[in-house]
Structure 1
C-alpha cells in the first residue's frame, strides 16, 4: 500500500530564471521524505509532495540558504486534494527594496568608497578593493557552496566566485570588485524583468473587487467578495465590477468583458446570460446568482492555468535545459585548458592566460542561454491569456505554430450556435404583418426558434399583439387567435394540411429549405400568409478567420454531425471543405486519418461532443466563454469564441518561436564574439561579465516585447 502523501505550496522569492528553479528543485529533491517537486519561476512558487511528518520549516531553510527565501502559503492535503486552501497574495513591494537590491547598493557604495580611498591613500588601495569585493562576493560564494552541497556544483554563483578569486590571485583585485558589482546589477535587472512578466498575468487577480453587495432576505449587506457562496445573489450597480462568476437573474446592462476575454465591444446582458468576475457593469443594475467561488472563478482559473502552463516545458526549452547541463561543465573545462595549455606547451605567460581563462569562465555563464526560451514562452502565454487565448504549456504553444490543418466543428464554433431569422417571405400580406403575427404566437416561449423570431420582431420594431387560446401542437407547430383571426405557425407539411399551397409558394419554401434553412409557415384565416426562414448563421468573423488561416498556409475542414444540406450551405458560404452527418467517433477517425497522412492537426470544438477528436488532435482547442469545459478539456481555449482567434493563436505561437530563435542567437552570438576577442587579448574581465549580463538583459527585454502582442482579432 502506498504511503500517504501531502502536498505543500511555498512562495519563493528571488527566483528569476530557469537556473534558479533548477537549483531549488535539485536541493529539495534531496531532502528525505520529498517525493516530487514542481517549481514555477513565473508564479514564484514551489509545490512539494512529501511525507506528512516532514519538517517543512527545515525544508524552507534549505531553500532560503540558497538565496531564495520561502514561506509556506498553502497546505493542499493528499493527492486527491481536499478542497481549496487560501492562496496568500504575493508581495507588491518595489524590486529595489529586495535583498538583491540592498546587496547591489551595498556593493556599489563599497566600490565607490574603495575608489575614493585608493585616490587619497594609494598605498592601501588594494585592501580597500578587497573589502569592496568581499561585500559583494561573500554572499555569492556562500550560495555557491550551498548549491554545490545541494547537488548543483556548476552554478552561476560558482563560476562567478572562481573568476573573482582567480582575479585576486593574479593581482586584478580592482577589476574583480567591479565584475562582482556588474554581476549583481545583472541579477537585479533579471529580477526586475521576471517580476514585470509575473505581474502581467497576476494583475488580472486585482480586477475582482474586494467587496460585494450581497442580497439576503430582501436586505443588502456588504461582504468580502471571496466569501460569496455558490447560489448567493449579489447586486451589481452601474460602474461596479462583477464580484464573482454568475448568471444574470434580473436586469439588463452592457458589460465590458475586455479585461477577461479581450472583447473590445461591451456585451449586452439579460436574464439567463453568464457574467465573469472582474468584468465592468455598464448602464444598468443587475442581480446576479453566483455560480463559482472566488478560487474557481474565471480569472482565478485563467491565472492558475497560465501558471501551470508556464511550468510545462516546450520541446525547445527541454533541449536548452539538457544542453546547458553539458554546456556549463564544458565551459569550465575550456577555461581550465585556456589557463594551462598555452603556458605549458608554448611557454606563454601564466598570469596573462589565467586572466583570459577567467574571462572565458565569465563569458560562459549560461544565464542568457537558459532564460532565452522560458522568458519568451512565459511572455507569450501571458500575452495570449490577457486576450482570451489560453494554451496549456510551452509544448502546446510551440505546436500551434506548426499546424498544417485545422478541423472545425460547425454549431457554436464556425456558427453562432443559435438560429436567427434570415428571410421573411410574405404570401399576399405585408412582411411586417407576417412577422408580427408569428411573434404574437411565440411570445413567452423559450424555444430557440421562438426566441429568434421574437428577436427579429424587436429588431424590426413591429408590434406584437396579444394572442389568445395559444397552444403548442407537439411536432407540428403552435396555434392561437390574434386580433380575432385564427393563426397557425408550424412546419410546411403541417401548414399544407390547414391551407392550400400554390406551386409558386411550394417552390419558394423548397428553395429556402434547399439552402439549409428551417422554414416555419404562417397560416392566417385559412390561407398561407407567409414563411419565416431561420438558420444558425456563421459567426461575423468566420470568413475573415478562415482566410487568415489560409494565408498562414493552414488548410481548414468542417466536421459536423448536422445534416448534409445545412452543413454544405454553411460550408459554401465560408469556402470550407465539409464532412457532415458525423458521429463523435467519425470525427476522431478523420482527425487520425489526417495525422496519418502527415498533417499536424488542430481540432476546434465545444469541448463536449468533440472530446474524442479534441484528444486525438495534435492540439485540441475549445471554443467557449470561460466554462470549465472550455478551460479544462482541451489543450487550448479561446474565451470569446471568435474564429479569428484561432489564426491569432497561430500568429502568437510563430511570434514566440521567432523570438526564441532571436534570443538564442543573441545569447550564443555575443558569447562567441567575446570569446574570440578575449583569446586574442582585445577584451578582458569587465567586457566578459558585461557580455553575459548584457546578453541576459537583451534576451529578457526581447522576450518582454511579446507582452505587447495584440493580434488581429
Structure 2
C-alpha cells in the first residue's frame, strides 16, 4: 500500500477521535467512546502503522534505532497501555497513537511527492529528442525513426526542424539555435565541416550532415545520464530526528524499564502502579511533536516563499543552504536577458537605424530581429528596398532611394575603408564584447550598431546582495570568455569560467565543491546536470521545465535578487525546523523525571493522562513556532501585496 493511501486511512479514522476530544471539555461524552477509539486505532495500527513497526524491528535486529523506532515504540506503547486501561476502567489515550501515525505519514507524503518531481526532469529531457529524421537510403530520402539511425547515415535537415543526432555537416549551410544545449545566446552559423548537436533547432537553411554519435552517445543522452547520476549520487538526508533517536530511544527504553524495576522491586509498588509510571515515561517521550516539527515549518516556510515568488521544493535543500559559501551563475537568461538587443548606435542614429532596418527586414540573419525590434521601439519608418542581395559571411546590400546601402560585419572592411574616428569607436565597442554591425551608403560607412545580450537591470544589485552576505560569486557559461568577462565586470561577479560545454558544467561545480558547498543558478536545459549536482540548485522560473524540475529552489518572478532572499528564507526555515525539534524533545526530557515518579514524595506526579497532555502541549508549541516563521524578518525582503 502506498504512503498516500496509508495517510488517508490514518486521517479518516483519526478524525472521529479528534471530534471526541473537542466535545469532551463541554461535558459531551459519546457512549461507548472507549470501544469506538479502540476499533478506530486498531485499524490505524494494523494498516497505517504496520510498516513503521516492521522498519523498527529491522533496525533493532541491526542494533540501530531511527525515526520509525520512535514512532513504533510510541504508538505501540500508547495503544497497548490504552487496551489495558480500557479493560481496567482507567483513562485511555488511543488517540495519541493514531495522531502520531497520521502526522508522520503527512511528512512522508511530502517527501514522496518531491522524489516524483525529481524523476520527471529526466523524462522531460528524453522528450526533447527528435522523433524521426530524413535519412538518405539507397539514393533516396526516407523518413526514419530515431531508433533506426546509425552512425554514418547522411541526414537532411530543413528549416525549423530538429537535428536528430550529433554529426558533421557535409553539404549546405544554416544557422542553428544551440542555446538549449550550449547556453550560447546567439544562433550559430554552420557550414560544411562544422559539428551539429542532436535536439538543437535548425533556423533558416537546409543542409545534409553525417551522423557520428547516435543513441546513448549523443550529447543530450549524456546530459540525461548526468542528471540520473547526479540524482543518485545525493546521499539520503540524515534527518535530525534519526540522529537524536540513535541515543534518545535506547535511553528512554532503559529509563522506562528502570522505572518499572525500581518501583516494583525496590519500592514495593503494585504491578499496576509500577506499570503506570513506566508507561508515563514512554508516553511523555512519544514523538507526536516530532511528526509535526519538520512538515509544519516546511509548510509555513514554503508558503511564505510562494508569496514572494520563491518555491522551495524539499527539506534537503534547506539543510544544504546553511553551509553554502559559493553561488555559481549561468549567464544566458540568468544574469543576462537571454535576448540579443541593440545597445549602441554610432552616427546619425535615426538615419543609421532606418537604413539598417530597411535592409534587415529582408534578411534571415539572427541579428536582424534585434535591429528590427529597436526600429519598432524608436518608431522608425522602414523604407522599401530594391535589388536586395545577401553576401555570405559579410552582410546584405540593397538600393534605397537610388543609393546603394549595405549592412554587415567587419569582413566588409576588406572592401570598404573605415575612417579613424569610427575605427576608434569600433575598437572601444568590441573591447566591451559587443557585436558590431557596420551601416553604409555608396561605399562609405556612416555608422555602427552594436548588439549584445545585455545584463538584466537587477543583476548587479543581486550580486551585490550576495557578496554583502560574504558569498563568493562565479559565472559558468558556454559563451566565449571575452563576452562573459565583460558581463561579469559589469555586474560584479568575482570569477569567470567560460567556453564550458554542458557535460563540463557539472564537473566545474564538483571542483568548486572541494572548497565548500555550492549553489548553482540557471535556467536552461544545459544547466540541468549542474543544477542537480550542486548542493543547492536554483532555477529561474522563466527557464525550461527541465531546469525547473532539476532545481531544488525555483524563482518564479525571474528576478535575480530573489536568489539572496531564497537563501535567507531557506536558512531561516531550516533553523526553525531545528528549533521545533528542540521543543519536540524538551518537554519529553524535562517531563521524564516527573513521569518516572522521582518527585512522588513531594506530591508531584505525571499520570499517563497528563503525559498525553504534555505531548499535546509539545505539539502546540511546535505548531506555534512554525507559524511565527511568517513573522521572521528577511533582510532583503521586498514583498509586494
Q: TM-score, normalised by structure 2?
A: 0.66
Aligned match of 1:517 in 415, 418, 434?
Answer: 434
Q: Which residue of 2 aligns with 1:559?
A: 476
State the partner residue of 2:509.
591
Q: Which of 391, 394, 399 lines up with 1:476 in the alignment?
A: 394
Matching residue within 519, 541, 544 for 2:458? 541
Report whether the alignment pairs 1:315 with 2:216.
Answer: no
Partner Cα distance (1:417, 1:657) in 2: 33
CA distance in structure 2 between the partners assigned to 1:195 and 1:588 by the alignment: 30
Note the C-alpha offset of 1:658: 0.8
Q: 1:411 to 1:193 in 2, by over 3 A?
A: closer
Change beyond 3 A, Cα 1:344–1:556: same
Distance (Å, rounded) in 1 between the aligned partners of 2:504 and 2:39 = 66
CA shift in 2, pair 1:618/1:347, >3 Å: same
Distance 1:693 1:562, change over 3 A: same
The 2-side partners of 1:414 and 1:345 are apart by: 73
* Structure 2 residue corresponding to 1:395, chosen from 316, 321, 325: 316
Residues 415 and 539 in structure 1, CA contact (< 8 A), matched pair in contact too: yes
Structure 1: 5+ residue stretches without partners = 1-8, 16-43, 45-66, 69-94, 117-127, 203-308
Relative to structure 1, the CA distance from residue 346 to residue 397 in structure 2 (aligned partners, 3 Å threshold; closer, same or farther) is same
CA distance in 2, matches of 1:608, 1:109: 56
Q: Paired residue for 1:137?
A: 38
Distance 1:506 1:359, change over 3 A: same
Compared CA separation, residues 447 and 398, structure 1 to 2 (3 A): farther
Is residue 607–residue 614 contact of structure 1 (8 Å, CA) maintained in 2?
no
Cα deviation for residue 617 of structure 1 reads 3.8
Aligned residues of 1:670 and 1:691 also touching (Cα < 8 A): yes
- 2:289 matched residue in structure 1: 368
Alignment match of 1:101 (pick from 15, 26, 45): 15
The 5 A counterparts of 1:238-637 are 315-317=237-239, 319-321=240-242, 323-324=244-245, 327-328=248-249, 330-347=251-268, 353-377=274-298, 380=301, 393-426=314-347, 430-445=348-363, 447-495=365-413, 497-498=415-416, 500-579=417-496, 581-584=498-501, 587=505, 590-596=508-514, 598-610=515-527, 613=530, 617-623=534-540, 625=542, 627-632=544-549
Q: Structure 1 residues 168 and 114 mapped into 2: Cα distance closer, same or farther (>3 Å)?
A: farther
The separation in 2 between residues aligned to 1:102 and 1:677, in whole angstroms, is 31
CA separation in 2, counterparts of 1:438 and 1:103? 77
Note the C-alpha offset of 1:398: 2.3
The Cα offsets for residues 351-371 of structure 1, whole Å up to 9 and x where unpaired, read as 655433332221111121244
What's the offset of the Cα at 1:415? 1.1
Q: Does residue 674 of structure 1 match 2:596? A: no
Compared CA separation, residues 465 and 701, structure 1 to 2 (3 A): farther
2:219 counterpart residue number: none
Secondary structure of the structure 2 residue equivalent to 1:537 = coil
Tell me by how many angstroms 1:574 deviates: 1.0
Residue 552 to residue 676, structure 1, CA distance change in 2 (3 Å): farther
Deviation at 1:661, TM superposition (A): 0.8
Q: Report the CA distance shift for 1:393/1:111 in structure 2 as closer, same or farther (over 3 A).
A: closer
TM-score by length of 1: 0.60
| Worse-matched range after superposition: 662-671 or 343-352 | 343-352
Structure 1 residue 392, shift from structure 2 partner:
6.1
Within 2, Cα distance between the matches of 1:708 and 1:313? 33
Contact persistence 2:74–2:282 (CA under 8 A): no
Aligned-residue RMSD, C-alpha: 4.4
Cα deviations by residue, 1:327-349 (Å, 9 ceiling, x for unpaired): 45653442232133134224467
Report the 3-state secondary structure (helix = DSSP H, G, I; strand = E; otherwise coil) of the residue aligned with 1:404: strand
Q: Distance in 2 between matches of 1:667 and 1:400?
A: 23
Distance in structure 1 (CA, Å) of the matches to 2:605 and 2:25: 25
Alignment of 1:161-180 (within 5 A): 161-165=79-83, 167=85, 173=89, 175-176=91-92, 179-180=93-94
Displacement of 1:666 after TM fit?
1.0
Deviation per residue, 1:155-189 (Å, 9 max, x gap): 543222233345568x7x4643xx45677788889
CA distance change for structure 1 residues 599 and 181 in 2, over 3 Å: closer, same or farther? closer
Helix, strand or coil at the partner of 2:345: strand
SS at match of 2:324: coil
Instruction: Judge conservation of contact 1:145–1:158 (CA < 8 Å) in 2.
Output: no
Q: Unaligned 5+ residue runs, structure 2?
A: 58-71, 117-230
Change over 3 Å in CA distance of 1:415–1:114 after alignment to 2: closer
Q: CA offsets per residue over residues 107-152 of structure 1, 9 Å max, x none?
A: 7769977879xxxxxxxxxxx8xx4433323432464467569736
- One of 611, 619, 624 as aligned partner of 1:688: 611
Partner residue of 1:160 out of 50, 74, 78: 78
Given that residues 473 and 495 in structure 2 are in contact (C-alpha distance below 8 angstroms), is that contact kept between their aligned partners in structure 1? no
The whole-number CA distance in structure 1 between the counterparts of 2:336 and 2:46 is 61
CA apart distance, 1:641 = 4.1
1:495–1:523 contact (8 Å) kept in structure 2: no
